[in-house]
Amino acid sequence: MVALQLTASLGTPYLPVSTQPRLVYLLLEVGDGTGTDVLATNLALVVDTSDSMYVRLATNEQFKALARMGLLKEVLVDGIPVWQATPLPREMLDGLPRKMDRVKEALRGLVEQLRPTDRFTLIAFAGQALTLVPNTPGGDRHRLLDAVAGLDHLQLGDATYLGAGMALGFEELRRGAGAGLADRMLVLTDGFTLDEPVCREWAERARVAHIPISTLGLGGEFNEELMIPIADRTGGEAYLIEEPAELPAVFTRELQRGQAVQCRNLELKLRPAQGMEVRAAYRVRPSTAPLELVNNGGSYSFTLGDLVAGEAPAVLLELLAAPRPAGTYRLAQALLTCDDPAGEPGGIKVRTDIVAEYTEDAAQAAQLVPEVMYVVEALSAYRLQERAQADLHAGDVTGATRKLRAAATRLLELGEAELATAMEQQATELEQHGQADTQRAKRLRYETRRLTQRLTDQPGDKS
């Protein structure tokens, strides 16, 4: 039996008596229920096998070695220096890794970690999609190994139709679904898909079916404007994989997360008291993402995905509190629910009241809760970076530059000097050239999404 825990913390325990509404930050944190049983996982692996996944790549060390051997030379193309390779000997070419080699390594690593109670499926997609391993018990590991061995012989074309792969993955997950299983989909691509609307449709179906989809964007040529929302919408995680060598670790992490699910369909409901208004809502752990605000009869619901052992989901809400006389008042009531792993109807629930005191004491009203405000500052940096990207897409370079510099200032205040420097460099490039490094922009976006989690994990005084 999972013992749900829900902790509510306001940015300030005291609100001033005034004639104006007051902005209040509310941090709701879910305990991870450590020590309780976990479910088996029902995992669909949806992998891009287009031709670009088989291109040979050189590591930094290999690149330098080729340059020293005179097999690379620097030439000018349109006045820009680029490296050009001479034909490489076959034995040397075969020694250069491919993205697919890392995918195969990652899949082989998963085989050793599958439990007999787990289930898995493997889908390949490119110009078309193909089910390589239908939904299979974890004990039949040889089927995955056989499929991995045959990846080099697939002929699915060079185009990228991710939605077709998601459709097959969804079908196989439904086929293997059952009590005591936590569904999960992991999708990997290194390019722009040609069926983006189809991807969004399947993400919505997955959301309704409570199937988290974690997305892996490999390299720099993929659409994060699609991959991030798919993960956010379904309760999954979004990863930027800049180097193929990172793939095995991320595959392993996602399998382990799937194997650590304690309960499914975690949902937070908030019913504000009369005179209270919810202005914005964000998930801030395990990664930052906006939550859709839907008022259903005076109550708001936020889907948080699965409850994973070792992770403590958290939501930050912006509330507008109505003016009141001095005294203690309930601002809202929060209800946390999840499905009962044993399948009992009604699920598991825990409630908590959010209470604050209105005071005429100016010193009391000025008090802040450092732990909450720390999260608020991290969220502010994330929002500034997101707004800068929106400005840039709209052609507002000046606005984007200003917001990036403001985000860099926030990051410095939070002790994130390296990330702040990268943000400032992006702003400087925009200011000087009207455009910026697209790969750095991707990296900044993904890193600021994980900022709250990283800051939470750091020891020390956050005040």
**Sequential pLDDT tens for the chain (463 residues):** 677 899 999 999 899 998 899 999 999 999 865 556 889 999 999 999 998 898 776 566 666 666 666 666 665 544 445 445 565 566 555 567 788 999 999 999 999 899 999 999 999 999 999 999 999 999 998 999 999 999 988 889 888 999 999 999 999 999 988 878 999 999 999 989 999 999 999 999 999 999 999 999 998 889 999 999 999 999 999 999 998 889 999 999 999 999 999 989 999 999 999 989 999 999 999 999 999 888 888 899 998 989 998 888 999 999 999 999 999 999 999 999 998 887 777 788 999 999 999 999 999 999 999 999 999 999 999 999 999 999 988 999 999 999 999 999 999 999 999 999 999 999 999 988 888 888 888 999 999 999 887 655 554 444 4
Q: Is 219 helix (H, G, I), strand (E, B) or coil?
A: coil
Residue 286 belongs to a domain: yes
Q: Quick check: 189 and 217 in contact, CB under 8 A?
A: yes
Q: Are 375 and 446 within one domain?
A: yes
What are the two backbone dihedrals, phi and then psi, of residue 95, each rounded to the nearest 5 degrees? -80, -10
Q: Quick check: 384 and 392 in contact, CB under 8 A?
A: no
Read off the pTM: 0.87
Q: Are 423 and 283 within one domain?
A: no
Residue 107 belongs to a domain: yes
Instruction: Give 146-193 as a DSSP string.
Output: HHHHTGGG----SS--HHHHHHHHHHHHHHH--TTEEEEEEEEESS--
Q: Is 229 helix (H, G, I), strand (E, B) or coil?
A: helix
Q: Quick check: 150 and 132 in contact, CB under 8 A?
A: yes
170 C-beta neighbours (distance < 10 Å), count: 22
Question: Residue 237: which H helix or E strand, with range?
Answer: none
Q: Are 52 and 167 within one domain?
A: yes
The C-alpha R_g of the chain, in whole angstroms, comes to: 25
User: What pLDDT score does 106 carry?
Assistant: 94
If you search the block for the tokens 């050189």, which residue do you land on? 58
- Strand 261-272 versus strand 238-241 pairing type: unpaired
d(CA 303, CA 281): 12
Please tell me what DSSP assigns to residue 244.
G
Q: Are 48 and 32 within one domain?
A: no
User: What pLDDT score does 90 carry?
Assistant: 61
Residue 1 belongs to a domain: no
Length of the chain: 463
Q: Which residues have a Cβ under 8 Å from the Cβ of 324 and sit 6 or more positions away?
A: 15, 17, 275, 358
Amino acid at 12: T
Token readout for 65 is 């070695």
User: What pLDDT score does 463 carry?
Assistant: 42
Q: Are 184 and 325 within one domain?
A: no
Q: What angle do CA 463, 276, 28 make, to 5 degrees?
A: 40
Nearest C-alpha neighbor of 1 from the set 38, 42, 41, 40: 38
Q: Are 89 and 17 within one domain?
A: no
Q: Are 117 and 252 within one domain?
A: yes
How far are the Cα atoms of 234, 265, 283, 431 from residue 229, in angstroms, in the given order?
8, 18, 13, 29
Nearest C-alpha neighbor of 376 from the set 10, 43, 3: 10
Token readout for 221 is 């040529």
Nearest C-alpha neighbor of 373 from the set 31, 17, 16, 23: 23
Residue 463 belongs to a domain: no
Give rounded-to-5 percent helix, strand, coil for the chain.
40, 30, 30
Q: How many domains does the chain have?
A: 4
Q: Which residues have a Cβ under 8 Å from the Cβ of 97 and sit 6 or more positions away?
A: 56, 57, 59, 244
What residues make up the domain containing 198?
A: 40-57+97-259
Q: Quick check: 45 and 214 in contact, CB under 8 A?
A: no
Q: Are 76 and 122 within one domain?
A: no
How far are the Cα atoms of 21, 158, 381 from residue 445, in angstroms, in the given order?
33, 28, 11
What are the two backbone dihedrals, phi and then psi, of residue 271, each rounded to the nearest 5 degrees? -115, 105
Q: Are 358 and 434 within one domain?
A: no
Residue 462 belongs to a domain: no
Q: Are 398 and 428 within one domain?
A: yes
- Look at phi and psi of residue 347 and say left if phi exceeds 0, alpha if psi is from -120 to 50, else beta: left
d(CA 214, CA 41): 14
